[in-house]
Amino acid sequence: MAVGIFDSGLGGLTVYQAAQERLPDVPFVYLGDHANTPYGVRDADDIYDLTTTCVSRLFEAGCDLVILACNTASAAALRRMQEGWVPSDKRVLGVFVPLIEALTERQWGDNSPPREVNVRHVALFATPATVRSRAFQRELAFRAIGVDVEAQACAGVVDAIEDGDMILAEALVRSHVEALKRKMPEPDAAVLGCTHYPMVEDDFRAAIGENVPVFSQPKLVAESLADYLERRPDMRGSGEVGMFLTTGDPQWVSDQATRFLRRRCEFHAA
């Protein structure tokens, strides 16, 4: 009954932690592609190849359902994977849709035409590859009309978080928020379009201003996953043991993950 969670590095641990808290009886297999992180500076074909390789490994671990807890992979590879790569008895889901459903206040499965919503000006903070893909805007257009999205490519933030340099990460966040606010001085909402960013969410909130609601993914994705598994219990895979896998150095990744999760976390070679 294992469910797979994939990320290019450590960021997906924010989704893993929220999902584990929401679904304590579900074993999760987490795979981080630390040997190739960050994905945000790669081209779409490279991201697709790396993502399919890692998701195949999660299928081998007994996961029939895999969550791409990586916005860059969701943006650059997910649609192509779903259209021609994912086996008929497997499912691969991304992290954009739960976020957009919350932003637009639309329930899962609401297939009514796009309509006006309460937000008009949205600030999107994401990796360069996610921004280039315009996947967020594409998914949003299926559900809402009249929403202006100003996207800010936050170069360097993922690297700083992966390296454990939170002082640099905070400085970069402030710089990127200032750059966005020069283009959109008064956003109605801010979206953190990378699962690394909850680790510096307080910095984003401080920089964007207390009157701007900030939408972050972990709990939204966890609730969406719980709803999905309730409707599709058959997608709980055959795997029964939760584990952490990495394409990088297991000892280094274990130490970094332990610092982020604040509990011992042992990664093994994928």
Task: Tell me the catalytic residues.
Answer: 70, 194
Sign of the Cα torsion 36, 245, 50, 9 reads negative
Give which of 131, 235, 112 is closest to 180, Cα–Cα.
131
Q: Which amino acid is at 58?
A: L
Which residue blocks in 88-200 are alpha helix, DSSP H?
96-104, 128-133, 135-141, 157-162, 166-183
Alpha-carbon distance 157 to 239, whole Å?
34
Question: Do residues 200 and 170 lie in contact, with contact meaning Cβ atoms separated by under 8 Å?
Answer: yes
Cα dihedral 147, 115, 95, 165, rounded to 10, equals 20
